[in-house]
Amino acid sequence: MKFFVDTADVKEIRELNDLGLLDGVTTNPSLVAKSGRSILEVTKEICDIVSGPVSAEVTALDYDGMMKEAAVLSKIADNICIKVPLTLDGLKACKALTSDGRKVNVTLCFSATQALLAAKAGATFISPFIGRIDDMGVNGMELIAEIRTIYDNYDFRTEILAASIRTVNHVKEAALIGADVATVPPATLKALVKHPLTDKGLDAFLADWAKTGQKIA
């Protein structure tokens, strides 16, 4: 499974990238607004840090507007992935952009039929929102499983990018089902390494080592 981090915080991105854990980055208008910086400036800096895809989202709702904004965003760096909403105009833009060799992330997916349309439009990534579906009292993982089955049935190359991930368990379940990518907040990505028995075992090893009075270096 690939790991993308869902943030526009350059400091967090740099730290995780230095750990060798990042395969890409996803941003959206809300995350860019939280950074307090220009979308072009912060996105360019992110693209300079990571070598993988960096999703930058259009804000226009009509096809022509999406294409104009995509042209501007595409010039930021070679690893830009244009993010479009799962609407008819968004799918039309997706088809045009991917036909031109651009990577496209189709976002705000909440049904398997939407994901099917995105794949038909040539999407590079489809972003089903697990957490928001859970909020409605439905298991978001069921959507990941449905999309996986449909994509495997027809050998679609669109990658399932599990989004709106809120817990370590979300990541585990998405991986078990076969999501290609998980995009997670920085804190969740760091939490994947934690386990109380790891900490307990490490404390015991270090205590025993201290009793020997030895040093390795």
Predicted pLDDT of residue 4: 98
Instruction: Indicate whether 169 belongs to any domain.
Output: yes
* Per-residue confidence band for 5, with pLDDT thresholds at 50, 70 and 90: very high
Instruction: Indicate whether 139 belongs to any domain.
Output: yes
Instruction: Indicate whether 7 belongs to any domain.
Output: yes
Give per-residue pLDDT as tens, 50-92: 999 999 999 999 999 999 999 999 999 999 999 999 999 999 9
Do 71 and 63 meet the contact criterion of CB atoms below 8 Å apart? no
From 83, 172, 190, 200, the catalytic residue: 83
What's the pTM? 0.95
Residue type, 120: K
* Per-residue confidence band for 31, with pLDDT thresholds at 50, 70 and 90: very high
CA distance 158 to 76: 24
- Concerning whether 200 is annotated as a catalytic residue, the answer is no
Tokens for 53, please give them. Answer: 């895809």
Give per-residue pLDDT as tens, 125-164: 999 999 999 999 999 999 999 999 999 999 999 999 999 9
Instruction: Indicate whether 121 belongs to any domain.
Output: yes
CA distance 96 to 73: 15
What is the domain extent for residue 56? Answer: 2-212
Instruction: Indicate whether 39 belongs to any domain.
Output: yes
Tokens for 105, please give them. Answer: 């992330």
Instruction: Indicate whether 217 belongs to any domain.
Output: no
- The total domain count for the chain is 1
CATH classification at residue 44:
3.20.20.70
Instruction: Indicate whether 54 belongs to any domain.
Output: yes
Predicted pLDDT of residue 101: 97
* Per-residue confidence band for 121, with pLDDT thresholds at 50, 70 and 90: very high
